[in-house]
Amino acid sequence: MTHPLRLGVNIDHVATIRNARGGDHPDPVRAAQIVAACGGDGITAHLREDRRHIRDKDLRRIQDATDLPLNLEMAGTEEMLAIALAHQPHAACIVPEKREERTTEGGLDAAGQHNQLAPIVTRLRDAGIRVSLFIEASERQLDAALRLGVPVVEFHTGEYAHAGLDGDAAKVEKELKRIADMAALAAKNGIEPHAGHGLTYENVQPIAAIPQLAELNIGHYLIGEAIFCGLEPAVLRMRELMDHAR
């Protein structure tokens, strides 16, 4: 069965540009309001340990400014757990985080980190927050997500996106199949599959066509396009491409 596909817009890089000058412009809250007004389904924001884009105060302001669900991307640390519990976002997506990386480079090792993740997942879940794990599309990681009892996984589409940029058609197909197979397996086991990272107008449609996927989270490309055409047209174009793929 094909489900409607939600678009979560990651507004981190509006804050990246703001922080480049240390003031309050451009304001990610204004971006969140535009996303809400033009039919985005959710706002995604990653509060990183080094606060390089979204900052603590932004979270409450974003939550107050729109009715859209907030998906807080967070490292699985006590510091981030406390912030999530204090803010009560609709969802929390646990991501791996390395200070030196430019962006979230790989999936969370849910299999190798079961013991660290289990209490964090439990405390988020007990607070009524929908927990997701950002993982590679592999059976090992999906099994680990099942053991942790999370309702959602988000599959990392970075390898798929990079293969496309490298012009490696065989790898694109291989990555796509891996994501499609794991999305089907997740859904069969009662986990809602999402996907994201590196998605663009050019590569979104084969991913959006995977019937079990319920949500895509897209940031960098949309904010980049917004520089040229505005955020609303960028979101609407992405929405249109996703809808046509279904």
Q: Any catalytic annotation for residue 73?
A: yes
Tell me the closest approach of the beta carbon of residue 213 to ligand PXP, in angstroms: 13
Token pair, residue 201, equals: 């107008």
Question: Using CA atoms, how far apart are residues 177 and 245, in angstroms rounded to an integer?
Answer: 16
**Residue 43 or 95: which CB sits closer to ligand PXP?**
95
Question: Using CA atoms, how far apart are residues 97 and 8, in angstroms rounded to an integer?
Answer: 20
Token pair, residue 83, equals: 């912030």
Burial of residue 184 (CB within 10 Å: 0-12, 13-18, 19+) is middle
User: Which of 218, 185, 226, 182 is CA-nearest to residue 200?
Assistant: 218
Tell me the closest approach of the beta carbon of residue 107 to ligand PXP, in angstroms: 9
35, 9 Cβ separation under 8 angstroms: yes
Which of 154, 194, 197, 225 is flagged as catalytic? 197
By CB under 6 A, name the binding residues for ligand PXP: 10, 46, 73, 93, 95, 103-104, 134, 154, 196-199, 217-221
**Residue 81 or 199: which CB sits closer to ligand PXP?**
199
Which of 46, 53, 156, 194 is flagged as catalytic? 46
Q: Any catalytic annotation for residue 154?
A: no
Q: Any catalytic annotation for residue 46?
A: yes
Tell me the closest approach of the beta carbon of residue 197 to ligand PXP, in angstroms: 4
Q: Which amino acids are annotated catalytic?
A: 46, 73, 197
